[in-house]
A and B are shown apart, each in its own frame.
Chain A
Amino acid sequence: MESEEHMIETGAAAAEIELERKLELLLDEMVASSPAAPPDFAARAATRRPFAAWEVRLASAWKVPALAGAGLLSASAAVFVAPLGQLAPQAALTVWGNLVTAALSSSASAAFSAAPALAAAGEVLRGSVTPALGLLVLGSGAIFGAATFASLRRRTARAPH
């Protein structure tokens, strides 16, 4: 045993070596019979593994999302183009193209078009805020902020190094 060799090197007494050997044996025996991880541990860890930053750079990791996206796009084309195609294929494709463009850009254009309305609402609020309402808004903001901070902190604290 390596520890024995070390003790001999350091000139430890025979009794001490014997005690050391006994403790090592006892520890090994205890470890061998101590509880192990649950049987499904590896499978669960594998299931819960995150989408790691390094995976983003892997072309193979994009296979499934790319296939799903292509599938959705083809399905939508089939649904819209098939019935209209009987009338005029060119017109059907144009309609479908416009629909896809509208679906993809609507959230951005909605936010853009809402900007003037939000600004106007801010102006109205500024003119009509009473101290009590101001305090209420500030209080709610503080509570929301504290709750968000606590939740973020808990998540950070649980992250391993």
Chain B
Amino acid sequence: MWHDAVVAEKEERDDAELVRRILAGEGAHFETLVARYQTRLYRFISRFTRDAEDARDVAQEVFLKVYGALDGYDPRYRFSTWLFRIAGNAAIDHLRRRRGRTVPLETPPDEDGETRGIDPRDGRPDPLEDLSRRRLRQAIDAAIARLPDDYRELISLRHYGELPYEEIAELKGMPLGTVKNKLFRARQALRDLLPPGIV
């Protein structure tokens, strides 16, 4: 815990320094900034888009938007909070744009192009033995996709964006206790949506 806090503080200092140098004209540091957050941001956005190509496009849009607005970043706050706030808005916008289309209750195609439907209540006797690792991931992905938007956002920020509770509270403008409570309820809802026996 202490080590995590120290690392987070160092990253925060480094981010502010990188932003300062980019704003001073050393644009090449932007790539370093992107590389630092690309995995977490991509995984976070993937929870919303459920499509690798869309996730890549939205993530790129977010970074380009961040670059364009970099002079508006207030270094008193964490860079990651600002970044994930922009990403959250972009992801929600993407969902709104896509809402016209029907989203099937099945996981995205595998590498072989095959899709597999998920029945959250198929009642297998021992799902851990039956479900391969990939199917387990698909079940979790499908369950997260079925969560209400606010729960999905919190789960995504916490687990896929790897943000600490304090940062989520800052980002969402909620008291810390409310964030913890909501995340607890979100995980409960997630458990209810998973096939029995997984957790």
A125 at the interface (CB under 8 A from B): no
A46 at the interface (CB under 8 A from B): yes
Q: Which of B23, B28, B34, B140 contacts A41 (CB 8 A)?
A: B34
- A-B interface pairs (CB < 8 A), number: 127
Give A158's nearest chain B residue, CB to CB: B61
On whether the beta carbons of A27 and B93 are closer than 8 Å, the reply is no
Inter-chain CA distance A160–B58, complex, in Å, is: 8
Inter-chain CA distance A28–B187, complex, in Å, is: 13
Q: How large is the interface on A (under 10, 10 to 19, 20 to 34, 35 or more residues)?
A: 35 or more
A19 at the interface (CB under 8 A from B): yes
On whether the beta carbons of B31 and A23 are closer than 8 Å, the reply is no
| Closest chain A CB from B85 CB (angstroms) | 9
Inter-chain CA distance A82–B89, complex, in Å, is: 60
| Closest chain A CB from B66 CB (angstroms) | 8
Beyond A34-B43, A161-B90, whether A50 also contacts B61 by CB under 8 A is: no
Q: How large is the interface on B (under 10, 10 to 19, 20 to 34, 35 or more residues)?
A: 35 or more
Beyond A42-B38, A45-B31, whether A50 also contacts B64 by CB under 8 A is: yes
Beyond A23-B199, A37-B42, A44-B60, whether A161 also contacts B34 by CB under 8 A is: no
Interface residues in chain B, defined as those with a beta carbon under 8 Å from any beta carbon in chain A: 23-25, 27-28, 30-32, 34-35, 38-39, 41-43, 46, 52, 56, 58-65, 67-71, 86, 89-90, 93, 97, 133, 136-137, 140, 155, 159-160, 162, 165, 180-181, 183-184, 187, 190-191, 198-199
Which B residues are CB-close (under 8 A) to A44?
60
Q: Which of A3, A26, A36 contacts B42 (CB 8 A)?
A: A36
Which A residues are CB-close (under 8 A) to B34?
41-42, 45-46
Q: Which of B68, B184, B191 contacts A7 (CB 8 A)?
A: B184
- Known: A10-B184, A34-B160; 15 extra A-B contacts, CB below 8 A, are A2-B165, A6-B181, A6-B184, A23-B187, A23-B190, A23-B191, A26-B140, A26-B198, A26-B199, A36-B43, A45-B38, A45-B63, A48-B60, A58-B24, A61-B25
| Closest chain B CB from A55 CB (angstroms) | 8
| Closest chain A CB from B182 CB (angstroms) | 11
Q: Which of A19, A49, A61 contacts B30 (CB 8 A)?
A: A49
